[in-house]
Structure 1
Amino acid sequence: MATKCPHCQQSQWGFFYADKKIVHSLVTLIKSSAMIPVCQKHNLHGYKLRRKIMVASYGVTNKSKSVSSVPIQTLLGIDPGNGFVKARADKGDSIILPSLIAYPTEYFEGGVVAKNGCSVLYVSGSRSDLIGKQILIGDIAYSIDPLNCISIAKSPQAKADYALELLLGAVGLLPQCDRVINPVLSVHDSTTFGEQIKQKIEGVHRIQLDGEPLDIEISNTSVTPEGKGTYYYLLKSGKVKKSDLVLLFDLGFGTSIYTVFQEGKILERSIFRWGVRDLYNSICQHPEMRKALNGVEGDSHVVRTAIETKKFIYRTEEGIFDFSKQYTEALISWTKSNLKQAMDKMRPRIPKAAHLFLVGGGGNLPSIGNYFTKKGFEILGNSQFCNAEGLLSIAQARSQQNGNR
């Protein structure tokens, strides 16, 4: 059946405009108090419903939209890591989701629920290259397209290239409302990627979440070196003094970073192009793992989840494969080739340091923490979030300074 758009009278099959009174449920039922035909060009709110009432966009977050129509100013500290995006907002929200991205085909119906993730439809705005694209961020990206989803850890450039997608993923898990966001982000090489990230994210972005259009304006962005947020967190919490020589080792997913701070400045910094991802890949390629999977390498996402939950279980066609032994073997090899390199680099500074800290998700993995505590390192209890917490503190300090001018 052909229909015509009331704005331009263009014939268009099967597309409709739905007003904002949409009831959205997990079983992909949609009802609207008013539906009229509209072409894709004039579908201003991005509500594209096919004749079969297929869901054009579905966010797994269940945050309700604020009743206020006035944009809320939001200060955001965001740590877009290779493994996880971590964020802290000034209203107290904490967000964590895997750094995975996918752009589904037009046949994606939504309704797929993942533990940490959301779906964003980019309707219009400063990023013309994203207009009309649906973006899946987090676990939902892996659930929809496990073979082709984009892992940020695969390229150093990816943190800049997909900076907006990662930020919108974090915004998608906040209570839904129009926002003016002033973010402070961290990146492993802020000198190289700082300006690129600003260009990618700043501007006005109209997106759709859970059937609701939202306007997100991003401005007054600051990009800092990774680890600086953690240092500010340590200063603010009173764990260190500004005069202290502080040695920080961030054991991350794709990279690991050694930084020395004193008097609010970075004295020394080294970036290692390895992380716990290499440990996971080693387990996937282990001969016993390949044997259990009939000659196929293991899925690093499955291995990672099993290790983080300390279950060491991989389901195969033949049943359950317990890879705890393979984890221990791979860990010994990985430690000798990688952690030893880091310790050799840090060794001259260790006797002079007032504090040694291990941060990053790698420190929470079985047996890794023991390796560092025996060498005098303290593992922070909230090691994954302390950088984002400190970045939020920097954003708040910048806001106060701007307000006093």
Structure 2
Amino acid sequence: MTEKTVIVPKSTRQKNTSKTPSKIKKHFKSVIDLGNHWIKAYLEGYDYLREPSWYARCLNNISEKIPGHVKYIDGVREDLKNTCWLVGTQAVRSGSSDLMRLVDDYTGKSSLWLQYFLGTLAHLPQLNPEMSFEVTVTCNDIKRHEPVIRKNEGTHKVELAGVPVLVQIKINAVYPEGIAALKSQNLDGAVTICDIGGGNTSITRFFNSEIVGEPVVKDFGAEYLIEKIGANSDLKALIKQPPSKDVINRSIEAGVKFKKSETGDKIALLYYGESDLNFYSVYALELKDFIECKLREVTNQLEQYKLAGDKILIIGGGSKLPLLSVALKKKGFLISDNGAFDNLMGLVSEVI
């Protein structure tokens, strides 16, 4: 039998070796993209970071030394004094009753910005005693989020994964997501970018890197698909327990595999978590519903723009959904090779 894996973007962070800066370095240029499903960040001197956007306040029995753990001691955010929280994978495993993701709270990209930024720092392989960050931010709604994000400028005395750190934050700039992606793709002229994110899908039109009109934002994204898969009765019967949205998300990230049967037929495999349970048929069924009920209006609009002469670029984690990316390419749309990281990498090239 032969087997082939459809590549879905994972983390750009290297697994075997960790890049670290000098232990006396104090000033770091950085870029952060708070996605509904994933937090993506680049901090000067380190590898790229990518963590799921899980957030939870800490229970008393949680070790302070685990990745993503933050204890706020003192600083400009007096409301956070003597509180602690977790960001990332370990938040899921903590058993906290208030576990959430950014996709669950639209205001979280600003109201929880500091918690997520510090939680991301708590995943770094090396932390220096004093760290000053000049941060460039990308988000989907600048008018709503920028004023609140900028309130986090200043000094924060914290413990990150148990390590005392004095963090200084300066917000360099806040850019809309589409512009950041445009920079990474080097596209000129009339371009329309469709960002299929976790919680929403946006359409932004540009001419020579300048925004033309207001972005159109639809209040659905890949989370709709994940929820529909999680509610599917066939999946529940297959795994014999309530499906986990986290496991579904990670399974889709791992991608669809294909193998040939003894008769030469191609069999599609989408495994649930670390099991050998194949839920590809459930995924294909719910993806069809996602396309027909949600994406159809968006793709019809994009096809009109393409006929008018626009180059159409599809970005965001949703652009790499198995089967969907193939369907979008057939329409003549450009699919970014690294759609989940385009906003981040476009800004990195500008500020680093």
Band of TM-score, shorter chain: 0.7 to 0.9
- 1:187 alignment partner in structure 2: 139
Q: Distance in 1 between matches of 2:98 and 2:270?
A: 25
- Deviations along 1:290-333, one digit per CA (max 9) or x if unpaired, are 33466x642111111112113633379xx864211110100111
Aligned length: 320
Aligned AA for 1:100? W
- 1:267 alignment partner in structure 2: 212
Q: SS of the residue aligned with 1:349? A: helix
How far off is 1:64 after superposition? 7.3
Aligned AA for 2:236? R
Distance 1:92 1:141, change over 3 A: closer
Contact 2:317 / 2:339 at 8 angstroms: preserved in 1? yes
How far off is 1:104 after superposition? 1.4
How far off is 1:394 after superposition? 4.1
Q: SS of the residue aligned with 1:347? A: helix
- 1:281 alignment partner in structure 2: 227
1:31-46 to structure 2, matched below 5 A, reads none
1:160-309 to structure 2, matched below 5 A, reads 160-174=110-124, 175-177=126-128, 178-199=130-151, 201-235=152-186, 240-241=187-188, 244-268=189-213, 269-292=215-238, 297-309=242-254
- After TM superposition, the score normalised by the length of structure 2 is 0.83
- 1:342 alignment partner in structure 2: 298
User: What root-mean-square deviation, in Å, do the aligned CA atoms of Structure 1 and Structure 2 show?
Assistant: 2.5
How far off is 1:73 after superposition? 1.8
Q: SS of the residue aligned with 2:249? A: helix
- 2:272 alignment partner in structure 1: 314
Q: Distance in 2 between matches of 1:232 and 1:181?
A: 22
Q: Distance in 2 between matches of 1:260 and 1:179?
A: 38
- 2:73 alignment partner in structure 1: 123
Greater relative contact order (Cα 8 A, min sep 6): structure 1 or 2? 2
Q: SS of the residue aligned with 1:350? A: helix
Q: Distance in 2 between matches of 1:374 and 1:225?
A: 28
How far off is 1:147 after superposition? 5.6
Contact 2:65 / 2:162 at 8 angstroms: preserved in 1? no
Distance 1:353 1:394, change over 3 A: farther
- Deviations along 1:260-307, one digit per CA (max 9) or x if unpaired, are 11122111421111111111110110121233466x642111111112
Q: SS of the residue aligned with 1:206? A: strand
- 1:369 alignment partner in structure 2: 325
Larger Rg: 1
Contact 1:250 / 1:257 at 8 angstroms: preserved in 2? yes
Q: Distance in 2 between matches of 1:210 and 1:282?
A: 36
- After TM superposition, the score normalised by the length of structure 1 is 0.73
Q: Distance in 2 between matches of 1:274 and 1:246?
A: 22
Unaligned runs of 5+ in 2: 1-17, 256-268
- Deviations along 1:56-82, one digit per CA (max 9) or x if unpaired, are xxxxxx8879532xx622111111000
Q: Distance in 1 between matches of 2:212 and 2:21?
A: 45
Which of 138, 141, 150 is 2:88 aligned to? 138
Distance 1:147 1:107, change over 3 A: closer
How far off is 1:215 after superposition? 1.0
Aligned AA for 1:129? D
Contact 2:68 / 2:122 at 8 angstroms: preserved in 1? yes
- 1:330 alignment partner in structure 2: 286
Q: Distance in 2 between matches of 1:354 and 1:346?
A: 9
Contact 1:184 / 1:394 at 8 angstroms: preserved in 2? no
Q: Distance in 2 between matches of 1:320 and 1:88?
A: 35
Contact 2:250 / 2:273 at 8 angstroms: preserved in 1? no
Identical amino acids, percent of aligned pairs: 23
- 2:55 alignment partner in structure 1: 101
How far off is 1:183 after superposition? 1.0
Contact 1:75 / 1:392 at 8 angstroms: preserved in 2? no
Contact 1:63 / 1:176 at 8 angstroms: preserved in 2? no
Contact 1:182 / 1:395 at 8 angstroms: preserved in 2? no
Is it true that 1:76 corresponds to 2:1 in the alignment?
A: no
Contact 1:187 / 1:223 at 8 angstroms: preserved in 2? yes
Contact 2:196 / 2:222 at 8 angstroms: preserved in 1? yes
Which of 292, 297, 314 is 1:358 aligned to? 314
Deviates more, 1:205-214 or 1:179-188: 205-214
Q: SS of the residue aligned with 2:93? A: helix
Aligned AA for 2:69? S
Unaligned runs of 5+ in 1: 1-61, 397-405
Contact 2:113 / 2:149 at 8 angstroms: preserved in 1? yes
Aligned AA for 1:143? R
